[in-house]
Amino acid sequence: MTQRPSQSRTRLVMGNWKMNGSLLANAALLQALVAGASRARGAQLAVCAPFPYLPQLQELLAGSLISWGAQDVSVHEQGAYTGEVSGSMLRDFACTWVLCGHSERRAMHGESSSLVAAKTSAALALGLAPVVCVGETLADRDAGRVEQVIAEQLEPILGLGAAALNKLVLAYEPVWAIGTGRTASPEQAQAVHGFIRSALTRSEAGQTRILYGGSVKAANAAALFSQPDIDGALVGGASLVADEFLNIAAA
């Protein structure tokens, strides 16, 4: 019999718009999400959007059941860092969340796990809730290096200590299943989530939520969410379609 997830961990379904959106399209999407948010049946809903759209999220989501955040944050508080955005700037737009170490940032911008930990620490210092992403490539999986890669990515995060770990969220996103249409089976996802949960438990943070991210759709959400250590989803492309995103949350 499948064990149900801990009832003490509130489900979280978070949309990552990546580099998508326009003022017009966002307005329609956000209005539909606000209207249908009750379909989430007790799960938390959140949206992480590109920096220019944070004022729009603040305007349209304030007072709703949906929280919001950004897709990256600087390790610096202020100064001569052209193109960077600090945590205090995100707070000006009432952000709750910030993604740290998304696989696209690691791959395209060379972000190391130590830098991801530094960004996580900077976000926590300003009262933001980091969603820290970890995950392996297809080459890593085929080489049997999944746990080694995840452990290496987690090491500097675990080094922040239990107090920090209990304030953040982790997201497991197998790189080979992001935007490819391929999804880890519920059993594959649970195996890695269980490995992460064990590492968190040893660090006195066993109740930290762990999301799954990797081509999550309404059609596979219920099977993924039935696993004991999957506490929700970090949703990419499907978060741009209101009905699909709400159906994932309803699962």
**pLDDT tens, position by position, 96-111:** 999 999 999 999 999 9
Among candidate residues 102, 104, 111, 244, the one labeled active-site is 102
Q: Is 102 a catalytic residue?
A: yes
Domain that holds residue 91: 12-250
Whether 111 is in a domain gets the answer yes
Residues near 245 by beta carbon (within 8 Å), at least 6 away in sequence:
13, 15, 33, 235, 238, 239
For 206-229, write each residue's pLDDT tens digit: 999 999 998 899 999 999 999 999
Whether 116 is in a domain gets the answer yes
- Alpha-carbon distance 73 to 172, whole Å? 19
Whether 242 is in a domain gets the answer yes
**Helices 23-36 and 242-250 sit at what angle, rounded to 10 degrees?**
30
| CATH code for position 207 | 3.20.20.70
**Helices 242-250 and 218-225 sit at what angle, rounded to 10 degrees?**
20
Among candidate residues 104, 111, 136, 173, the one labeled active-site is 173
Structure tokens at 12: 């979280």
Going by the DSSP 8-state scheme, the letter that residue 101 receives in this structure is S
Whether 5 is in a domain gets the answer no
Whether 2 is in a domain gets the answer no
Q: Is 173 a catalytic residue?
A: yes
Q: What SS3 string covers 189-232?
A: HHHHHHHHHHHHHHCCCCCCCEEECCCCCHHHHHHHHCCCCCCE
Query: For position 178, what pLDDT does the model report?
Result: 79
Whether 1 is in a domain gets the answer no
Query: For position 7, what pLDDT does the model report?
Result: 53
Residues of the chain with pLDDT under 50: 1-5
Whether 40 is in a domain gets the answer yes
CB atoms within 10 A of CB 191: 15
Whether 126 is in a domain gets the answer yes
Structure tokens at 131: 């969603």
Query: For position 4, what pLDDT does the model report?
Result: 46
Number of folded domains in the chain? Answer: 1
Q: What is the pTM of this model?
A: 0.95
